[in-house]
Amino acid sequence: MACKCVCKPWRGLLATPEFVNLHLSRSVPGFAVETRSRSFKMVEIVEELDEEHRLDVTFSFKLPFDEIIRSSVNGLFFLKEFAFGDLILCNPITRDYIMLPCPRQTTLNVKINIENFGFGVSRMTRKYKVVRISGEKSLEEECKYGCQVSTVGTGSWRKVPFGDSLRLCDDVGEVLVNGNLHWTAKETRRGSGEWICCFDLETDLFSTFPAPPLPSSTGRSLCVLRDCLCVSDISTTDGCIIIWLMEENEHSWTKIFVIPDVDRLPIVDVWPIRIFENGDVLMECEDGTLFYYSNKTKTFDYDIVSREYRAPFPSTFVYAPSFVSLKSFAMENAWSF
C-alpha cells in the first residue's frame, strides 16, 4: 500500500524496466522468516548481532498460498504444492503472482520415484527458468531420469539432456549460485562418493564435479555463503558441523568453519544462513528451528526471531525486495492479491 500511494507519474516510473533493474542492483538482501502460517517478517542483514542475539525486523508481509516456498530469486518466491503439483511465482512487494503450467509425465503408466524442482535466473539473458528433474519407473523397466525446463513467459516445457549416470540424492533442495543450479547427486559411472550436479541456466547444460569428502554418519546440505557454493556436513560421529566453501570455477573445497558439540542438536541437516565477522553463525535446522551459535561462548541460542508458528521444514529464505512485476512476462496471466 505504501509503495503504491504515490502520484501516477511516480508509480509509472516505479514500473519501468530501467528503475526495476537499478533498484534490484542496489536492493539490500536480508532474510524472510515465517513467523506465523503464511506470514513472514523481513529481517535485514547486520554485521554483528547485539548481546541478546536479536535480529532487526524491517517489515512484514503475508502470502495467500498454502504451498511451500522452495526458493527466492530477485524478490520472487517460487512455491510448489505437493498434493496437486501447483507451481506459483509471486512477488510480495508488487503483490502479484502467476500460476505456471505443470509439466506432463513423459510416459504412461509410470511411478515417479523422485521429483525435484529448481528456480533461477540466467546470467546474461536474465531469463527466469524453472527446472524439473524426475526419476520415472514403469512396471517393467528400470528407473529412468529426465529433465524438463520452462522459461517463464513461454507457457511451455521442453526436454533437455540429462546424464544417464546421474542420480539425485533424495529430498534435496537446489541452490542457485552465479546463474547455476546445484544439487547433490550420485555418479554411478564414477564409483562411490557424492558429486555436485550443476545446471547452467544460460546454456541449459549439465555438468558434475566432486563434493567435499563425506564424513561418517552425516547429514549433508547445500547453501550459499559469501556468494559462493557451500556444503554443510553434520557428523554425529565426529561431534561437529563442518562448513565447506568452494572457490568459483576452481571446484576445490576449503573447510572454513567447524562447530563442535553437535550432539546437543537433535537434528540431521542444518542450513547455515550467515557467518558473521566475529565468527558467530546463524543457521536453520531441518525442522524449521532458527538458532545462533556464538563463537566466543561456544553456546547455542534458539530464540532469535519471535515466532508464533514454526513449519516442520526449513522456512527461512535469503530475500532481496524488488519491484519485478510478474505482469511483464508474456504468455502468463498475472493476478493480484
What is the Cα–Cα distance from 88 to 185, expressed in whole angstroms?
A: 26
Length of the chain: 337
Please say if the pLDDT value at position 109 is more than 60.
Answer: no
Choose the most confident range, by mean pLDDT, from 2-11, 96-105, 298-307, 311-320: 96-105
Closest Cα partner for 273 from 257, 260, 262? 257
Q: What is the DSSP letter of 331?
A: T
In this prediction, residue 134 has a pLDDT band, given cuts at 50, 70 and 90, of confident
Residues 87/93/95/96 CA torsion (nearest 10 deg) = -50
Model pLDDT, residue 152: 94
Helices (H), 82-149: none
Point out the least confidently predicted range of 274-278, 293-297, 330-334.
330-334
What is the Cα–Cα distance from 325 to 329, expressed in whole angstroms?
A: 8
